[in-house]
Amino acid sequence: MEQVNQRTYVVYIRDNKENTILNMAKESANVYNQALSIFWDFFDDNQFLSMFDVQKHVDFPRTLLHSDSYLAALQQAYKAICSFLASKKSYEKNPEKFNGKPMPPREDKETFAIFFKKSAIRVKNKKLLLSTGDRKKPLSFRWNAKLGTPKYVVISWKRETGWQLSMVLEKKNKTVVSQIEENIMAIDLGVKRIAATYDQENTVLYSGKVILSLMRLRSKINGETQQKLKKLKKHSRKYKRIKRANRRVVLRINNKLQDILHKTSRTIVNDAVGKNITKIVAGDCSGIHDSPNLGRINNQKVVQCPEQRLLRYIGDKFEVIGGIVETIPENYTSRTCPSCGNVKKSSPSGREYRCSACKFRYDRDGIGAINIFKKVSFGCDWQSQSLPDVVGSLTPPIGWKYNSSQDCLVHSG
């Protein structure tokens, strides 16, 4: 069985000597601006133009843009108008739901994104070719032919990084996880240990130390920048320079964080596949539980804290190959002794969990994962003392630390 997934990739690019990209972006902006002003002119005369009507009136000369890119800029303008009118309408109904009054799309863009549709994208001789208005001179970028031909490409300008090429690629994934019998891996998410997994045989602890120190570094740099900016006049040259420098450093830190989270999630998913796991269940620490039912992870939710992002990445990677990822509320999972069911009054303080009733000892984060596993397997009775023993064959936890050059599969004890 195969599953087709759409993935978005971003690469940073440079303009050529003739500034073709810049000039195309300017042309795109002119089409966009003109489409907006035509629409509003008619709108002021109580005429609501359709997309097709707008297209008829736009007469900006097309030189550098491919006809589809020209049309796409126009469509984007029309889309911006429609979404503005829609949000204006709902703002008038209940304004309290909005942070502020919706603003109409601006007409004075100097540059605008350049859109390439299927007809304008080709891959030839390890080059990605994007058609322009001049058939003989497409934009050309080095390309790995193995990736296939993108379905959609957008070139846009970002202040921090310059020109970027975003594309949608279709990727076929083989289903490697068959759901015939259920094998569960439990994950406890944390901060110092970003994740601990348990699968009835092994406990693996994933260190979050590098992530933590990068996040501290980021807030320290942000704090220092704020201090420096306070003394300066807003929008002065020095002010802008410091802000720019800060953006660059923070972007680099964020990229590093993302890399670590991707590698950690890849390692967890590879480990799960190797052990024939069909379902990964995580303790949900977001705190809000409407029902005790198992719930699917909401991928749309914008998550800031790294452990939630890690869980989302695990979901992305495990689900495309046929796996299931779910969350359950994690009440008491860090305080209950997995051996005898005794519940501590407060969360254990050290790195080690010690049960006062049965003298059971184990790594604290491992306990969380074991209890999540028990909770999934035994339901509400998971704390009962008459359960089959899960800790009898428990092995010492295995540690995993991020290393930028390390292969994802390596575990170090």
Distance in Å, CB of 198 to Zn ion, minimum: 17
Question: What span, in angstroms and rounded, lies between the C-alpha atoms of 359 and 165?
Answer: 59
CA–CA distances in Å: residue 175 to residues 2, 3, 131, 278: 6, 7, 36, 11
Question: With respect to Zn ion, which residue has the nearer C-beta, 277 or 355?
Answer: 355
367 binds Zn ion (CB under 5 A): no
Report the greatest alpha carbon distance in the chain: 83
107, burial (CB in 10 Å: exposed 0-12, middle 13-18, buried 19+): middle
Distance in Å, CB of 366 to Zn ion, minimum: 14
Contacting range for Zn ion; rule: CB under 5 A; set: 52-60, 230-238, 299-307, 351-359: 351-359
Distance in Å, CB of 368 to Zn ion, minimum: 15
Query: Which residues does residue 7 pair with via DSSP β-bridges, in sequence order?
Result: 169
How many residues contact Zn ion, by CB under 5 A? 8
Binder of Zn ion out of 10, 176, 357, 409 (CB under 5 A): 357
Binder of Zn ion out of 20, 87, 270, 342 (CB under 5 A): 342
Distance in Å, CB of 355 to Zn ion, minimum: 3
Distance in Å, CB of 375 to Zn ion, minimum: 17
Binder of Zn ion out of 210, 340, 390, 408 (CB under 5 A): 340
CB 184 within 8 A of CB 379: no
Q: Which residues contact 3 (CB under 8 A, 6 or more apart)?
A: 172, 173, 175, 320, 322
343 binds Zn ion (CB under 5 A): no
Contacting range for Zn ion; rule: CB under 5 A; set: 238-246, 318-326, 347-355, 396-404: 347-355
CB 147 within 8 A of CB 138: no
3-state helix, strand, coil split of the chain in percent (to 5) is: 40, 20, 40
Q: Which residues contact 381 (CB under 8 A, 6 or more apart)?
A: 387
Question: What span, in angstroms and rounded, lies between the C-alpha atoms of 172 and 67?
Answer: 30
360 binds Zn ion (CB under 5 A): yes
Binder of Zn ion out of 285, 355, 367, 370 (CB under 5 A): 355
Residues numbered 111 to 130 that lie near Zn ion (CB under 5 A) are: none
Distance in Å, CB of 374 to Zn ion, minimum: 13
Contacting range for Zn ion; rule: CB under 5 A; set: 20-28, 185-193, 350-358, 397-405: 350-358
Residues numbered 186 to 245 that lie near Zn ion (CB under 5 A) are: none
CA–CA distances in Å: residue 233 to residues 229, 246, 247, 292: 8, 17, 18, 54
Binder of Zn ion out of 337, 372, 376, 394 (CB under 5 A): 337
Contacting range for Zn ion; rule: CB under 5 A; set: 55-63, 83-91, 99-107, 352-360: 352-360
Question: With respect to Zn ion, which residue has the nearer C-beta, 86 or 358?
Answer: 358
Token pair of 246 as six digits: 């800060």
Binder of Zn ion out of 82, 358, 409, 410 (CB under 5 A): 358
Distance in Å, CB of 359 to Zn ion, minimum: 7
Distance in Å, CB of 377 to Zn ion, minimum: 18
- Residue 114's closest CA among 247, 13, 4, 21? 21
Question: How many Cα atoms are found within 13 Å in the side-chain-facing hemisphere of 388?
Answer: 8
Binder of Zn ion out of 33, 111, 265, 339 (CB under 5 A): 339
Token pair of 113 as six digits: 């994104």
CA torsion sign for 224, 227, 233, 235 is positive
Question: With respect to Zn ion, which residue has the nearer C-beta, 149 or 342?
Answer: 342
Other beta carbons within 10 Å of 328? 19
Question: With respect to Zn ion, which residue has the nearer C-beta, 65 or 337?
Answer: 337
Q: How many residues does the chain have?
A: 413
Token pair 């009775």 is at which residue? 381
Question: With respect to Zn ion, which residue has the nearer C-beta, 191 or 358?
Answer: 358
Question: What span, in angstroms and rounded, lies between the C-alpha atoms of 247 and 229?
Answer: 13
Contacting range for Zn ion; rule: CB under 5 A; set: 4-12, 31-39, 259-267, 329-337: 329-337
Question: With respect to Zn ion, which residue has the nearer C-beta, 312 or 364?
Answer: 364
Question: With respect to Zn ion, which residue has the nearer C-beta, 86 or 357?
Answer: 357
Other beta carbons within 10 Å of 401? 15
Token pair of 334 as six digits: 């860090």
Binding site for Zn ion (CB under 5 A): 337, 339-340, 342, 355, 357-358, 360
